[in-house]
């Protein structure tokens, strides 16, 4: 038993160090057969983007507007890749986006109910300030497509 574990471990270590996968990519080994990386393995991130990004343009993609709603919250390297994949020029200013509200809101109540601005004046003022961002979020939701590209954190 121990010998079998050691042999399998050696095969696995050897396969990891190999330049090519220890198998042939085909419909017998996987449902997704491409695109392939230089080493012959399947680039699953690229395959996801290829499939779900089909027919999506910056004009019909609600995610492009959603990026403006969320602002610049993701790391610069990821944001740059995401914008490029969405077809948005790199110099596009996303703006600060949505600002968080940190005090008590009607949503913090134990039972959801209708409320009046007088009950939560600071929160009502906050929502008024965020009106443009909320309108942009509504526009994003109304777009016919929604594609958020898959971006690899390890490959740039």
Question: How much is the pTM?
Answer: 0.68
Residue 135's pLDDT is what?
Answer: 94
> What is the number of helices (H) and of strands (E) in the chain?
6, 0
- Start-end of H helices in 18-75: 44-52, 62-70
Q: How many Cβ atoms are within 10 Å of 58's Cβ, its own excluded?
A: 14
* pLDDT for residue 156: 47
Task: Specify the pLDDT at position 91.
Answer: 64
Whole-number pLDDT of residue 80: 83
The CA-CA-CA angle for residues 54, 55, 58, to 5°, reads 110
Between helices 121-129 and 131-142, what is the axis angle to 10°?
Answer: 60
pLDDT in tens, 20-32: 666 677 777 777 8
Report residues of the chain scoring pLDDT below 50.
1-16, 156
Sequence-separated (6 or more) residues with CB below 8 Å from residue 78? 151, 153
pLDDT at residue number 6: 39
Per-residue pLDDT, 59: 93
Q: Where are the chain's structural domains?
A: 30-151
Three-class DSSP category at 36: strand
Instruction: Specify the pLDDT at position 12.
Output: 47
Are 73 and 97 in contact by the 8 Å Cβ rule? The answer is yes
Half-sphere exposure of 84 (CA within 13 A, CB side): 8
What is the per-residue pLDDT for 5?
42
126-139 pLDDT, tens digit per residue, is 999 999 999 999 99
């Amino acid at each position: 038993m121990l010998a079998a574990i050691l042999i399998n471990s050696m095969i696995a270590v050897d396969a990891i160090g190999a330049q090519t996968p220890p198998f042939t990519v085909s419909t017998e080994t996987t449902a997704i057969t491409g695109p392939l990386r230089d080493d012959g393995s399947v680039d699953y991130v690229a395959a996801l983007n290829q499939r779900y990004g089909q027919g999506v343009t910056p004009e019909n993609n609600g995610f492009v507007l959603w990026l403006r709603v969320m602002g610049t919250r993701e790391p610069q390297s990821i944001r740059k890749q995401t914008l490029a994949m969405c077809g948005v020029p790199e110099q596009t200013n996303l703006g600060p986006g949505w600002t968080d509200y940190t005090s008590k809101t009607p949503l913090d109540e134990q039972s959801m109910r209708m409320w009046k601005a007088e009950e939560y004046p600071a929160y009502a003022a906050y929502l008024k300030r965020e009106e443009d961002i909320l309108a942009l979020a509504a526009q994003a939701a109304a777009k016919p497509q929604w594609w958020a590209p898959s971006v690899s954190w390890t490959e740039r």
